Amino acid sequence: MTNAPTTICRYHGDVAEIQLVNPPVNGLGYELRHSLYEQLNRVLGDAGVGAVVLTGAGHMFCGGADIRQFNTAKATMQPMLRDINRLIESSGKPVIAAIHGNALGGGLELAMSCHYRMATTQTRLALPEVKLGILPGGGGTQRLPRLVGLEMALGLIVSGEAMDATQAHACGLIDEIVSGDLLEAALMQARLAAQQAPSSLRVTSALRVRFDGDMDSYFEAQRSRLAQEAPGLPAPLECLSCLKASLTLPFEQALTLERTKVQALLDSPESKELRRQFFARREAS
């Protein structure tokens, strides 16, 4: 019996359930990314599969990147999270995220690439990367504003704070809150979606970012505010730059900018110190 990070595939008729298994938080290290990418390619290419449901093992959906692999070769080994997200979005078969517990960081970015998101009443969602001196690097700065609007996305990304399922449903981040059996509800939704034409799938990257107002004035004011609230910290300002790109650049170009920014931040002394503090707190607790 191996404890290596992996995915488990279960078939429920013509719906494939792919479960993330990497205790304790199903972190998206290289090994889990590789397993998930292989599993998705296999089931999406299976003519007998009409839809896919993504779930997480244990007490949560996914806690995001494996922080222990930051600044190592595994952090950038293919497939990257953005490769998995692109595969899901372009699949032509509905992929449903069934979120229990937390979906944080890359876990939320993974869910945002799915065509439909369902959560339990206890679910919490966040992009907390700024607290480690970085920014969401799996498309979060581009998909989140397309789902909830630019101003709410800015608030979530630069604070790193979590929202509960009710808040997430109200703003459009999730599509449905399930009070009963989450998997059964997700399988039912998957079967319904599989009966629709592939062209009816909602692809987040194709949505237009919601924003009303003078863009230049808005971003200038936000830049001044963030420089005062987080002096000396580059991550909030780089988050702002990526969010502005969601309005000014084509989606793929904005993703490239996001990746460039996150790589530079990972090498910054501020991020390295924040991560050192994070691990120190975890050791102490």
Q: How confident is the model at residue 132 (pLDDT cuts 50, 70, 90)?
A: very high
- Section 159-183 average pLDDT: 98
* Closest to 107 in 3D by CA, of 121, 92, 124, 94: 124
The single residue of 129, 161, 270, 283 carrying the catalytic annotation is 129
Judge whether residue 74 has pLDDT over 90: no
The 3-state secondary structure of the chain reads CCCCCEEEEEEECCEEEEEEECCCCCCCCHHHHHHHHHHHHHHHCCCCCCEEEEEECCCCCECCCCHHHCCCHHHHCCCCHHHHHHHHHCCCCCEEEEECCEEECHHHHHHHHCCEEEEECCCEEECCHHHHCCCCCCCHHHHHHHHHCHHHHHHHHHHCCCEEHHHHHHHCCCCEEECCCHHHHHHHHHHHHHCCCHHHCCCHHHCCCCCCCCHHHHHHHHHHHHHHHCCCCHHHHHHHHHHHHHHHCCHHHHHHHHHHHHHHHHCCHHHHHHHHHHHHHHHHC
Distance CA 78, CA 254 (A): 20
Distance CA 217, CA 197 (A): 42
pLDDT number for residue 76: 84
pLDDT number for residue 282: 87
Distance of CA 190 to the CA centre of its chain: 20
pLDDT number for residue 177: 98
Could you confirm whether 151 is annotated as catalytic?
A: no
Q: Report the predicted TM-score, pTM, of the whole model to 2 decimal places.
A: 0.96
Could you confirm whether 109 is annotated as catalytic?
A: yes
pLDDT number for residue 1: 38
The single residue of 31, 38, 89, 109 carrying the catalytic annotation is 109
Q: What are the pLDDT digits (tens) for 20-73?
A: 999 999 999 999 999 999 999 999 999 999 999 999 999 999 999 988 888 788
Judge whether residue 148 has pLDDT over 90: yes
